Structure 1
Amino acid sequence: MTRARCYGPPQRTEAADMPDEAKLARTLATAILGIDTLWGGDVMSPSGTGRFIADSWFSDEPLPEAYTHRAAARLRETGGVAARSPDEDAVGAYLAAVDVPAAIDEAIAQGRELGGLRGAFLVGQGESLRVMWELAEELRGRGQEVPYERCVVAATGTPPAPSRPEPKRQLLAKLLGVPAEPARLLEAVDAWRGERLVPRKAIKLLADGFISQLEEGTRRHVVPHLPAALHAVPRANVEFLLVENAWFSGSMNYVGRARNRDGSPRYEATYEINAALEISVPELVNLVAHEVVPGHVTNFALAQALHVQGKLGFEATVLTMNTRGAALSEGLANHALLMAFGATEVSELQDPDLQIGSLLALLQDDAKNQASWLTWEERRPQDEVARVLRGEYLCSEERAGKLSGAWGRHPLNGRMYLPCYRAGTEKVGELRRRHRPEKVIPALYQVSGLVDVVTIDGVL
């Protein structure tokens, strides 16, 4: 029997082959917020310093016991299993109250029963959550070390592999008019970046200006390929905030819980940017496109609109990190600048500085994958990884230090999230070269159903 796909809020039906939306929502909420809480995340935090695996909650559904139980509050306060000094009593009390692995198993089972595109997405997400559970058990000394390949496949759908920066380095060398030899190219990039460095106190002002330019490009090159019902959705309702001593370069925090008088969403978000970030103006343009429009904020806002319109189910309201869905989201965001300019390749951008900035941004995401590979596959020490990221991937010293340290050596992000960037970027690039915009853009923005870096092939 073919199962009908049912999207949107719970619906009353007597059809035996329709999913129980309320049950599915409860299961997913417990599985996702359960693993998020276990790792110390707080989906209701307005800051990226508090969020972790669950990256949004805008459904108006009540929070599950996995979040509201008093043991959950204590576990969040103590930092979860990845804290410097984990509180095992807090972990034990939480797991006694919330059966996280059972919820994950049930989410996978419901996805398999549902079948089709939606079911495949849920199974893939569930498998990612299962690996996160295994990593938590490893960290607690209750399980064997999770194979690196298992982590990467769960998050990206493909086995791990080192990055290959050479083609981008060759293009950069040509644009900068220097040999591609490492020392010469790094010197040229540092000089180029230094001449265009964004004053830290001007980041917010510049970012706000870039949003207007990118909004216009999105209106011209992206919006025409989306359904008319999505054209009026705010795509960049974001506030920029500077954050001191952050471990990330920037964090987009989609909120989506504010409502207009008529009850419609305001599609609001914040973007926290590391106050210590060393970034050039062209790289900042790329960052704003990636994080805001037509990147992450736009992507989340359209998902919320599709949920409100009954086109996507509950799972679209609690989006996740370290999953195949996140890999696709990062890939879309890495192509956001190109999409805003109606381009498929970096070489099609008219401004050489934008080409250089885009190549450096893409190299940084190659560096994220390489930091993961060198740290977890080759077991290289941090200082050696940092030197590789600086010399071969042309990262600033600040970025090389963060990616080789706080990011790369994190027991979860280092093995699951860092590889998502390159995997998603390569997949989206492949799809954009193979399909016309009117076909691929709706698929990337979930118009044909919630998809990930693997299941998107099913709608193209």
Structure 2
Amino acid sequence: MSGNFSESLGNAILGIDTLWGGDVMCASGVGRFIADSWFSDEPLPQAYTHPLAARVRANGVSSKNPDREAINAYVAAIDIRAAIEAVKDEGSRSGGLRGEYLAGLANCFETMWDLAMEMLGEGAAVPYQRCVEASTGRPPGPSDPVRKRERIAELLDQPGSTGKLLDAVDRWRKAHRVPMASIRTLGAAVIAYFDELSARHVTPYLPAELQHVPRANIRFLPIEDAWFSGSMNYLGRARRADGSPDYEATYEINASLEISVPEFLQLVSHEVVPGHVTTFAYLQNLYWRRAAGFEASVLTMNTRAATLFEGIANNAILLAYGVKEVEELPDRDLQIGVLLALLQDDAKNHASYLTWQERRPQTAVAPELRNEFLVSGERAEKLSGAWGRHPLLGRMYLPAYRAGTEKVADLRRHYEDSEVVPALYGCYGLVDVTTIEGALGRRRN
């Protein structure tokens, strides 16, 4: 790997990823965890290639039976903390927007390291507030579903108790349910639709160099019995004849997911275009043209950048239609689907808060998510269980959805899309949820 910084960043990210059981080179979300991409064409760092790394990935700190012997030997061989310090030092040397981005990244990885040590019983319990502030830049708090729920009740013409509204939502979902057997066909049609909308309402604000980058080179793959609802796996390692990236990705969707067609439209805009796949493709292009640093090629979960990416993705359907509020979307059912999807992400934050701040058991959290946030029974169980109680995702990632969504929506209300859209996709420099507003302000001045 060329350059001391690239090596340090690679060891910091993939070292933490390995400790938590992630494999960035796995094409499936079943194997990936913290590191979301490795498309630089650089050799993998020692944190990934070390002979002990595979053993640690198989039984990392969050597994039922951590391989303590392998973990201890691995952290003795790979100085992850020194790598994180090197990232922090590079941020101090760089200063400006890049320095702020790297400082935030290092802060998140210090927190993830301390969480790993907590899991091993070799460090103090990490305060919940520290986890949330590291990944979102703001303190934790519960979600308030009332306004969205009231709007759904109005759209469904269903005033009255929460129980009646939940029944009405369940009936609506059933009437509009996606047939999983047709997911590839439906996915292709919806992707093409949102790609065309994005060509009209998003790409005109971007520089010429990004105009011809594929926004949605992706395949939909149903997957059985996954612990996640879906996983966007950005690969980006295929190359064209001229050596340029092919910007390829897959999306694995849980075959047991209960989702309506309008919610599926929101999902495609979120995960594909102009959401995650588009964001990653643009960042890969910026890196390939050397308009962004190495840090743009190793994107991660549980960081402030990831919080911004979730914000872009949750606002993607509004960006695609060229509107700023859900009420401006052109279809009643589409508004309902988007509001339900946003409530689900509010529920993710709420599950995190109830689980880690208020220390409520899953048996208390699941029904509150179901009744107050109108999520399906399957989602209530997953968010209050496998997701919400996960020692890392529950504390650092679930709060990211609401924080990012609110930030991007607020920026679009205060700035023109001609200003915001280039900033969101990295055209003013790589930004995160805490640095983007400063980048916009400096650009305006």
TM-score range (shorter-chain normalised) is over 0.9
Displacement over 2 Å in runs of 4+? none
**1:222 and 2:190 equivalent?**
no
TM-score computed with the length of structure 1 as normaliser: 0.95
What are the superposed Cα offsets for residues 291-312 of structure 1, whole Å, 9 maximum, x if unpaired?
Answer: 0000000000000001111110
Cα distance in 2, alignment partners of residues 258 and 49 from structure 1: 21
SS at match of 2:52: helix
For the structure 1 residues 299 and 193, does the alpha-carbon distance in structure 2 shift closer, same or farther, using more than 3 Å as the test?
A: same
The equivalent residue for 2:443 is: none
The equivalent residue for 1:328 is: 308
The equivalent residue for 2:396 is: 416
- Deviation of residue 181 (structure 1)? 2.5
**Matched residue pairs, number?**
440
Cα distance in 1, alignment partners of residues 129 and 93 from structure 2: 27
Q: Choose from 169, 192, 199 the match for 2:179.
A: 199
SS at match of 2:3: helix
Asked whether the equivalents of residues 169 and 180 of structure 1 are also in contact (C-alpha less than 8 Å), the reply is no
* Cα RMSD after superposing both structures: 0.9
- Deviation of residue 77 (structure 1)? 2.2
Asked whether the equivalents of residues 5 and 86 of structure 2 are also in contact (C-alpha less than 8 Å), the reply is no
The equivalent residue for 2:378 is: 398
Q: Choose from 55, 58, 72 the match for 1:77.
A: 58
Aligned amino acid, residue 442 of structure 1: P
The equivalent residue for 1:100 is: 80
Q: Choose from 358, 361, 364 the match for 2:344.
A: 364
SS at match of 1:70: coil
The equivalent residue for 1:164 is: 144
Identity %: 61
Cα distance in 1, alignment partners of residues 192 and 160 from structure 2: 35
Cα distance in 1, alignment partners of residues 359 and 250 from structure 2: 36
The equivalent residue for 1:240 is: 220
- Deviation of residue 114 (structure 1)? 1.3
Q: Trace 1:28-427 onto structure 2 (pairs within 5 A).
A: 28-78=9-59, 80-179=60-159, 181-427=161-407
The equivalent residue for 1:428 is: 408
What are the superposed Cα offsets for residues 78-131 of structure 1, whole Å, 9 maximum, x if unpaired?
Answer: 2x1000111101111111110111111221122122111001000001000000
TM-score computed with the length of structure 2 as normaliser: 0.98
Cα distance in 1, alignment partners of residues 167 and 184 from structure 2: 28
What are the superposed Cα offsets for residues 423-456 of structure 1, whole Å, 9 maximum, x if unpaired?
Answer: 0000000001111010000000011000000000
SS at match of 1:402: helix
Cα distance in 2, alignment partners of residues 314 and 170 from structure 1: 45
Asked whether the equivalents of residues 290 and 296 of structure 1 are also in contact (C-alpha less than 8 Å), the reply is yes
Aligned amino acid, residue 18 of structure 2: T
Aligned amino acid, residue 12 of structure 2: A
Cα distance in 2, alignment partners of residues 292 and 421 from structure 1: 16
- Deviation of residue 180 (structure 1)? 5.2
Asked whether the equivalents of residues 170 and 180 of structure 1 are also in contact (C-alpha less than 8 Å), the reply is no
Q: Return 5+ residue gaps in structure 1 as ranges.
A: 1-9, 11-20
Cα distance in 1, alignment partners of residues 356 and 161 from structure 2: 28
Aligned amino acid, residue 427 of structure 2: V
For the structure 1 residues 159 and 193, does the alpha-carbon distance in structure 2 shift closer, same or farther, using more than 3 Å as the test?
A: same
- Deviation of residue 26 (structure 1)? 1.1
For the structure 1 residues 223 and 180, does the alpha-carbon distance in structure 2 shift closer, same or farther, using more than 3 Å as the test?
A: farther
SS at match of 1:81: coil
For the structure 1 residues 208 and 180, does the alpha-carbon distance in structure 2 shift closer, same or farther, using more than 3 Å as the test?
A: farther
Cα distance in 1, alignment partners of residues 175 and 326 from structure 2: 22
Cα distance in 2, alignment partners of residues 185 and 101 from structure 1: 50
SS at match of 1:178: coil
Aligned amino acid, residue 238 of structure 2: A
**1:22 and 2:12 equivalent?**
no
What are the superposed Cα offsets for residues 340-362 of structure 1, whole Å, 9 maximum, x if unpaired?
Answer: 11110000001000000000000
Aligned amino acid, residue 136 of structure 1: A
Asked whether the equivalents of residues 71 and 97 of structure 1 are also in contact (C-alpha less than 8 Å), the reply is no
